[in-house]
Amino acid sequence: MKYRVTGLCLVIIFGFALNAGCQSLDADPAVPLSEVFRNVNSSVVMIVATHRSDNPGQPNPNAAVCAGVIISKEGRILTAAHSVNVADQIVVYFLDGQVEKAGIVASSAEADISLLQLESVPDNIEVATLGDSDKTLVGEQVLVIGAPYGIDHTLSVGHVSGRRKSKTLCHQLTPFEFIQTDAAINQGNSGGPMFDIHGNVIGIVSRILSSSGGSEGLGFAVSINTAKGLLLNQKTFWIGFNGFLLYGEMAKAFNLPQDAGLLIQSVADNSPGDDLGLRAGSIPIKSGSQTFLIGGDIVLSIQGFSITHSVGDVCAIQDVVGGFTGETEIVMTVLREGKIVELANQK
């Protein structure tokens, strides 16, 4: 039987004042789940991320619905990266009906987590309490709140089924952890918080393993300690574009002057990729089981490091990009309409 990993989207607002906002419940097993839900629900938000289409045949913007949780009184939100990373607009919907726009301030595509900042912070927002996922045990009960199929503030309950460390070929990349659960998770749950029975956030919903596209009891959340390390402690750089790696026969078909290149698929408005002037593809084609867009830039190098299919070179580029900040002068060489062009942001 073939399985596919399906992305989901939920958002959480991060709080640096970890003791503020939603109150943790006492470690009393008799506390009803309805009370836990009532205490934490107002810290969960629904997010709609839209991205304009560069395909003339698809004039309407693409939209992804996900969830999130408020983590600071300053308006920080934690959510799944795959739903917001290349969005041109991110709109956050609160339980009381208020609506605000947000932008990305840090993101890790590899761990599938992003940190958002509200453009305007409503009064009296509720902040979730962040737990310590290292103390989470297999078999413990967990609660997930999200927006499956756009139905916001939906509760599902299950247990921790396992803890899975990522496997990385790059020694300089810190492994991250996923918490496996049998709680019902469907499209739209991505980015939503996973709570323990005390109302503490222990994970951010990422994806499901499914043969049907619906919940089959194999859901995964990025552990909250992974999120803290990547987005709060070191602020992983958000580049604002995604690409399709061309190598081997595909690289030859596109007449690349080297072994590999990154074919740009989407670029978010007002992102570092947008500042560079990167152009996204607009013509969909299918090669085997893969569908991607052509007609955009093909990145040949970043900061002088050539794009290759070699694991060592890929790790070197990831290490360089991981050190970027908002003040970094980024330089890329791209193949555009058959010509090699150098791009640089303005600093």
161, 190, 215, 301: the catalytic one is 190
Which pair of structure tokens corresponds to residue 47? 């997010």
Find the length of the chain: 347
112, 152, 182, 297: the catalytic one is 112
Assess contact for 54 and 282: CB atoms under 8 A: yes
- Closest Cα to residue 3, out of 184, 188, 212, 180? 212
The two beta strands, 99-108 and 89-93, are antiparallel
Assess contact for 102 and 27: CB atoms under 8 A: no
Assess contact for 273 and 85: CB atoms under 8 A: no
42, 43, 82, 223: the catalytic one is 82
Angle of CA points 91, 109, 127, to nearest 5°: 45
Whether 198 is catalytic is no
Whether 215 is catalytic is no
The rounded distance, in Å, linking the Cα atoms of 281 and 65 is: 23
* Alpha helices, H only, 150-248: 224-227
Assess contact for 177 and 165: CB atoms under 8 A: yes
The rounded distance, in Å, linking the Cα atoms of 266 and 243 is: 7
Coil, strand, or helix at residue 142? strand
Angle of CA points 343, 346, 347, to nearest 5°: 135
Whether 72 is catalytic is no
27 phi and psi angles, rounded to 5 deg: -75, 65
Contacts of 315 (CB under 8 A, 6+ apart): 169, 170, 171, 172, 173
Residue 252 exposed, middle or buried by CB count within 10 Å (0-12, 13-18, 19+) = exposed
The rounded distance, in Å, linking the Cα atoms of 280 and 293 is: 8
Contacts of 284 (CB under 8 A, 6+ apart): 55, 291, 292, 293
Q: List the catalytic residues.
A: 82, 112, 190
